[in-house]
Amino acid sequence: MDTKGKKILIADDEPDILEIIQYNLSKEGYDVSVAKDGDEALVKAKFSKPDLIILDIMMPKKNGIEVCEILRSQPAFKDVLIIFLTALNDETTHVKGLEMGADDYVNKPISPKVLVSRVNALFRRVNKQPEGKVLKLESLTIDPDRYEVLAGNNNVTLAKKEFELLYLLASRPGRVFLRNEILNQVWGNDVIVGDRTIDVHIRKVRQKLGLDCITTIKGVGYKFDM
Amino acid sequence: MDTKGKKILIADDEPDILEIIQYNLSKEGYDVSVAKDGDEALVKAKFSKPDLIILDIMMPKKNGIEVCEILRSQPAFKDVLIIFLTALNDETTHVKGLEMGADDYVNKPISPKVLVSRVNALFRRVNKQPEGKVLKLESLTIDPDRYEVLAGNNNVTLAKKEFELLYLLASRPGRVFLRNEILNQVWGNDVIVGDRTIDVHIRKVRQKLGLDCITTIKGVGYKFDM
DNA sequence: GATCCTTATAAAAAAAATTTGAAATTGCAA
DNA sequence: TTGCAATTTCAAATTTTTTTTATAAGGATC
């Protein structure tokens, strides 16, 4: 598996656990950093932008649930993978943790091998949605790494939302995206914005591109068409 | 969460487990079907194309691991979500299950609430949207994902209701749909519109397609015929 | 062939959805 | 903090879709 460049942050107040997990994930090829309490986890997360965060629930400063809540409320961490790791073996916390937006919940004591497998499984699943690929569609080039769009021979600068919107539509040319899907993908499952917001962004993209490549399907949604 | 249309297949040889899981997932809004052994699971999977499959490991006919292996080797099931559910609490199997391509591995005894949470979490992460089926009838192609109709070699743009009407009729060529059925399927049980509304839409579709593929059965309804 | 019933057609009205312009708000960096 | 760009909201204008209405046309039955 391609674990290159995948960054993992582990937060736990027990040094032993921290070390053994770090050792095993590093061996697997991940780029691992650690934090020993909730506050440190937040700081390091902001600093290193990990792809996956493993959170102990019972930690000093801020517990794992709080950390998760804070992270998920920030757009930058809305999609980061989160695994709860805890000695608490209680159903309510388990359910709550998952509902809070965690991707997995693992009980201690944990076998390093199993944890590594679960991490791998999570990345494998997430990677199936091709992300970060440069899209080329006739005269249009969309580069998600640079957040840049080349229309014909001139560079177009799109704002973040505009870009993500275009990228989503262009990722499956011809397919209609329902307004709902667009909201979920670009704005996030939980964000509440008016329906007109999508239209306005569509307009901006159309305007800036100067191409007629987004088709409106009234009452349904939008699709990319060249 | 929007669980509409998400199909789940559960395979387990213990009727009690089957029932309790089915009950809880149905309550959550999923469309659940069940199988009581490995072979049945494979058949039902092929038949109903579920979005998620929950597999007991120890089952008659074929065990869960074998079922998973067979499924993953088929392109159609390469991406389907799979959760192993098992009383085996052994590390090797756990790791093996995940490496085989499962997305989660849950030990029995399992709390229904927790299982439902994990299922939700998986769907949330993947955000898999079921795709509609493309209908191909001689020179006509009807693609619900693209909201597009190809008649011969020219693209026809249908409005939402027109499209849905055509899609309904074409989904069962030759079968007569009563006016009532059409109303229910396309307009919904509760919407009240005059009888002439259907005629007008039929006419629009005929007009736009430029093909004579919708036959009127006086006093009964309409049918699609090529 | 007249009558009755049903559907087809065309045009108009009504309803719905999107586009547009502009303003308010938010967020971030200088 | 200020200033700027990005984002969101609002409402009027526009466009498109959907429904209704009125009339014509087609069949079947008597």
Task: Report the distance from CA of residue A162 to the C1' of nucleotide D7 in Å, as an integer.
Answer: 10
Residue B160 and residue A219: Cβ atoms within 8 Å?
A: yes
Give the mutation candidate from A89, A103, A131, A185 for the B interface (greatest B CB count, under 10 A). Answer: A103
pLDDT tens, chain A, 226 aa long:
444 457 889 999 888 888 888 898 888 888 888 888 888 888 888 777 788 899 998 888 888 888 888 887 765 676 788 999 888 778 888 888 888 888 999 887 888 888 888 998 888 877 655 445 778 888 889 988 778 898 888 888 898 999 999 999 998 888 999 998 898 888 876 678 888 999 999 999 999 988 889 999 999 999 998 7
- β-bridge mates for residue B31, sequence order: B7
- Say whether residue B117 is in contact with chain A using an 8 A CB cutoff: yes
Kindly report the number of other CB atoms within 10 A of residue A50's CB atom: 23
Mutant choice from B4, B90, B115, B118 vs A, greatest count of A C-beta within 10 A:
B118
Quickly list DSSP for B71-130: HHTSGGGSS-EEEEEES---HHHHHHHHHTT-SEEEESS--HHHHHHHHHHHHHHH---P
Q: pTM score, two decimals?
A: 0.63
What is the CB-side half-sphere exposure of residue B172 using CA atoms within 13 A?
9
Instruction: Give me A9's structure tokens.
Output: 């942050």
Residue A91 contacts B where some CB pair is shorter than 8 Å: yes
